[in-house]
Structure 1
Amino acid sequence: MRAATGLWRWRHNPLCRTTDLVEAWVAMTAALLLCLAVPLAGWAVGASANESLQRAVRAQQQERVPTVARVVRPAETAETGEAGATGRRTAETAGEQRLRPAVVAAWTAPDGTERTGTVTTAREHADPGDHFPLWTDRTGRAVTPPMHPGTARAHALVAGLTVALLAGFLVESTRRVVVHRLLRRRYARLDRAWAQVGPDWGRTGTGS
């Protein structure tokens, strides 16, 4: 930022080098991008993602119907299959089964027909005869609840912030690469200048 603020002062400074001006312009451009373009990119992506997700929410709300299911009996745990696979499956799903036990339940489809199937519940204990809320599609098949509009907004916000962070990282990385190359060019010129005057440095009559 000091290079950017001193840009106009350096323009008429006889000691100002071309690389100094380039570095100042690079710093100013990076600052403008970080303050304007990066937030705008994050907002644009977040707004677009939110619009798409909200459309998906409205579609899910139209396609999915709430109903009430009745527990018929606890679902039987599959005991067939290879022992190793069964052991891994049991270890991976034990926690989920405790939180969302699977039961055989009965519910009424939107067309009025009775349906029965194995579903999961959010109840800690699901005894036969208990009732719990369930979502189905228009055909009566059990489905997950529709996404909440607040959840969609949260996902869109995360997407926008992620894009803004990535864009800011890209701008800053580009600035550092350009400045690094300018420094290398500056040092190379100093080395060449020193190689020309170095052998005569301090000698009488050389103008030093």
Structure 2
Amino acid sequence: MRAVVGLWRWRHNPLCRTTDLAEAWVALVALLMICVAAPVTGLVTGALTHASLQQSARLEQEQRHPATARVLDHDERAENPRPAARDTEAATDHQIRRSVPAQWTGPDGTLHTGPLTTARHDAAPGDTFRIWTDGRGRPVDPPMTEETALDHAVLAGIGTTLLSAGLVEGVRRVVVWQLTQRRYARLDRAWAQAGPDWGRTGAGS
């Protein structure tokens, strides 16, 4: 930041080295990119993500249907042994939540029976709870809401902004490191030329 502040003051300073001026310009460009380019990139990413997620949310809301499941007792479960299909996500959710035998009606009127996972740990036979099914009556996750889509889009925009700013800062540090190494190399060469005469009376006169 001090290099950016001193950029204008260094224009006609005879003590200003080329690497000093280059470092100041690099800092200024990096600051502008972090303050302008990174937020714009995050805004565009968030807008595109929001549009895509909103479309996915509408599609899920059209393809997924609410249903009411009823917890069965052991006798009803024996009369209806046909299990419901579960995918990998359902199997993982089954390990976290409680599984109960239940019966529900699909959107086509077909009666389904099988184990369902529920957060109600006190569910007893005859209790009902809401589930979501696909067109064939198979249990699925609830459809994405517009609020959830917006939250994901905001997080994507913020993440892209931070990532862009971090990338710009990383590039700036690499460039400054290279300029510093070049500055040290020039100092070493200058010292190698002046070193043998250093301290001698009348040296250089």
Same fold (TM over 0.5): yes
Given the alignment of the two structures, is residue 165 of structure 1 paired with residue 162 of structure 2, yes or no? yes
Query: Which amino acid letter does the alignment assign opposite residue 5 of structure 2?
Result: T
1:128-169: per-residue Cα shift (whole Å, max 9, x none)? 111111111122222111122222222222222222222111
Query: Which amino acid letter does the alignment assign opposite residue 33 of structure 1?
Result: M
Structure 1: runs of 5+ lacking an equivalent: 77-91
Q: Taking structure 1 as the reference length, what is the TM-score of the superposition?
A: 0.83
- Cα distance between partner residues in 2 of 1:9 and 1:114: 81
Residue 127 of structure 1: aligned partner: 124
Query: What is the CA RMSD across the aligned residues, in angstroms?
Result: 2.2
Query: Which amino acid letter does the alignment assign opposite residue 5 of structure 1?
Result: V
Trace 1:106-125 onto structure 2 (pairs within 5 A).
Answer: 106-125=103-122
Given the alignment of the two structures, is residue 56 of structure 1 paired with residue 56 of structure 2, yes or no? yes
Residue 88 of structure 1: aligned partner: none
1:61-106: per-residue Cα shift (whole Å, max 9, x none)? 1111112111113789xxxxxxxxxxxxxxx98972xxx3212211
Residues 73 and 103, structure 1, Cα contact 8 Å, conserved in 2:
no
- Cα distance between partner residues in 2 of 1:141 and 1:95: 19
1:108-138: per-residue Cα shift (whole Å, max 9, x none)? 2212222222211221212111111111112
Trace 1:3-14 onto structure 2 (pairs within 5 A).
Answer: 3-14=3-14
- Cα distance between partner residues in 1 of 2:147 and 2:163: 24
Question: In the TM superposition, what is the alpha-carbon distance from 1:204 to its structure 2 partner?
Answer: 3.3
Given the alignment of the two structures, is residue 43 of structure 1 paired with residue 29 of structure 2, yes or no? no
Query: Which amino acid letter does the alignment assign opposite residue 193 of structure 1?
Result: A
SS at match of 2:72: strand
Runs of 4+ in 1 over 4 A off after TM superposition: 92-95
- Cα distance between partner residues in 1 of 2:175 and 2:8: 20
Call closer, same or farther: CA 1:93–1:155 in 2, change over 3 Å: closer
Percent of matched pairs sharing the same residue: 58
Trace 1:131-150 onto structure 2 (pairs within 5 A).
Answer: 131-150=128-147
Number of residue-to-residue matches in the alignment: 190
Q: Taking structure 2 as the reference length, what is the TM-score of the superposition?
A: 0.84
Query: Which amino acid letter does the alignment assign opposite residue 176 of structure 1?
Result: R
